[in-house]
Structure 1
Amino acid sequence: MSMIFNILNTFLNYLFNLTGDWGIAIIILTIAVRLLLLPLSIKQRISMGQQQVLSEKITALKKKYKNNKKKLKIEMQKYYRQSTNGMLGCFVSLLQLPVISSLYFVIINMPANVGTVIIPWISSLKVPDKYFIIPAIYMLVSLSPNLLPYIKYFKTVGLAKMTKSNFIFIGIFSIFITIKAPVAIGLYFITTSLFSLFEEIGYRLYRRNISLN
């Protein structure tokens, strides 16, 4: 963990020396880390999609063979084997945690107490945004990927829509974790959420092309 921290910390300082702006350095570092983890993230998305499809098939199977327990058991065993294989891919996401958490602590421990050209209304990246613009932006960006299923072009079989209660929870949680957080952390959260949005768009386009072929 400390080795990852040191590598990211060194890279952040290098990016600052290159750009002369800590805000830009944070954005570039965050994007670089997310690009590095992109293969793992894609594998996780594929596994989650497979699990969702399997879950729907198992539900239909239970309904179809509700009066034939023996046949249901035989068919269920086939799906459970597929489910176990799909779950292995989800554990890949755990490999991302040390890198993501190290990146978070690198930004928290950033030595500079200065502003950034990206957010001109703040004087320091180490204080919260008193105008609450950063929390509001983060809330909107966090909710954006969950709005894609409501756009006809991005509707994909096997990818469910989010419930209204989950929308509310994400919105409140997004504001809660950024309202008192340093702007540097808000910048990190916004960047990683925007990356997730484009990643989700790319994944849905990929699934859509597969279903059309």
Structure 2
Amino acid sequence: MNIISNLLNSILGYFFNITGDFGIAIILLTLAVRVVLMPLSFKQKFGMQEQQKLARGLEEIKEKYKDNKVKLESETQKYYQENSKSMLGCLTSFLQLPIFFALYNVILKMPMSTATMLVPWVASLKMADNFFIIPTAYVITVLIPNLLPYVPFLSITTQAKISKTNILVSSLMSAIITFKAPIALGLYLITTSLFSAIEEIVFRIYVRRRELVA
């Protein structure tokens, strides 16, 4: 963890020297990290898509061989073997956890007087936003990827829509996370969510085109 913290701190210092603003430096740092993780992120998306295909295939197998237990068992074993190959896609989510905590550690070490032109109503990036503008912005950015399946142009047949209950729960959790969080952490989370939304849009456009060709 210390290695990651030191690396992030060095990169953050580099971006600050270029921009002269820690808020902008945090955004650039976040974008740099997400660009590095982007190949794994797309691998995760394709892996999840494959799992959903396999899940539907399993239901078809159960229905097709419901009267043949031997065949049903052999086909089910094949399904689980294929499913295990798709689990590597979850690696991106786990990789972001140490980066998140390392960045939080970097923020704690920042000078208390550190401010940013991006959030002029707060005197320090280590303070929470008492106007709740940052938490509100984060909730909105979290909602965007969850609402994409409901957009006809971006809907793909291999991915189910997220239930409205799950969308509300994720929005509530996002608000709780940033309610008293430092502004610096809020900027990181908002940038990450916006980047994820753009990734999801690009992924859906690519999949839709591939489906049309197929």
Q: TM-score, normalised by structure 2?
A: 0.93
Task: Give me the whole-angstrom Cα distance separating, in 1, the residues matched to 2:14 and 2:69.
Answer: 64
The alignment status of 1:131 with 2:136, answered yes or no, reads no
The alignment status of 1:148 with 2:148, answered yes or no, reads yes
In structure 2, relative to structure 1, the CA distance for the partners of 1:164 and 1:92 (3 Å cut) is closer
In structure 2, relative to structure 1, the CA distance for the partners of 1:67 and 1:156 (3 Å cut) is same
Does the CA-based 8 Å contact 2:21-2:116 persist in structure 1? Answer: yes
Counterpart for residue 30 of structure 1: 30
State how 1:49-198 maps to structure 2 within 5 Å: 49-91=49-91, 93-198=93-198
Does the CA-based 8 Å contact 2:51-2:86 persist in structure 1? Answer: yes
What secondary structure sits across from 1:122 in the alignment?
coil
TM superposition shift of 1:3: 1.4
What secondary structure sits across from 2:57 in the alignment?
helix
Task: Give me the whole-angstrom Cα distance separating, in 1, the residues matched to 2:92 and 2:35.
Answer: 16
- Answer with 44-53 or 21-30: which moved more: 44-53
Q: Which amino acid aligns with 2:32?
A: A
Does the CA-based 8 Å contact 1:23-1:187 persist in structure 2? Answer: yes
What secondary structure sits across from 1:37 in the alignment?
helix
Task: Give me the whole-angstrom Cα distance separating, in 2, the residues matched to 1:140 and 1:89.
Answer: 26
Task: Give me the whole-angstrom Cα distance separating, in 2, the residues matched to 1:205 and 1:25.
Answer: 31
Q: Which amino acid aligns with 2:84?
A: T
Q: CA RMSD in A?
A: 1.6
State how 1:8-19 maps to structure 2 within 5 Å: 8-19=8-19
Task: Give me the whole-angstrom Cα distance separating, in 1, the residues matched to 2:24 and 2:91.
Answer: 32
Give the number of aligned pairs.
213
Task: Give me the whole-angstrom Cα distance separating, in 2, the residues matched to 1:110 and 1:62.
Answer: 57
Task: Give me the whole-angstrom Cα distance separating, in 2, the residues matched to 1:116 and 1:92.
Answer: 30
In structure 2, relative to structure 1, the CA distance for the partners of 1:96 and 1:132 (3 Å cut) is closer
What secondary structure sits across from 1:157 in the alignment?
coil
Q: Which amino acid aligns with 1:80?
A: Y
Task: Give me the whole-angstrom Cα distance separating, in 2, the residues matched to 1:93 and 1:174.
Answer: 16
Q: Which amino acid aligns with 2:193?
A: S
* Structure 1, unaligned runs of 5 or more: none
Task: Give me the whole-angstrom Cα distance separating, in 1, the residues matched to 2:161 and 2:197.
Answer: 15
Task: Give me the whole-angstrom Cα distance separating, in 2, the residues matched to 1:177 and 1:126.
Answer: 15
> Which structure 1 residue ranges, 4+ long, deviate > 4 Å from structure 2?
none
State how 1:189-208 maps to structure 2 within 5 Å: 189-208=189-208
Does the CA-based 8 Å contact 1:26-1:107 persist in structure 2? Answer: no
Identity of aligned residues (%): 50
Counterpart for residue 21 of structure 1: 21
TM superposition shift of 1:174: 0.7
Task: Give me the whole-angstrom Cα distance separating, in 2, the residues matched to 1:14 and 1:159.
Answer: 40
- Answer with 64-73 or 50-59: which moved more: 64-73
Q: Which amino acid aligns with 1:69?
A: K
TM superposition shift of 1:92: 5.7
Does the CA-based 8 Å contact 1:23-1:118 persist in structure 2? Answer: yes
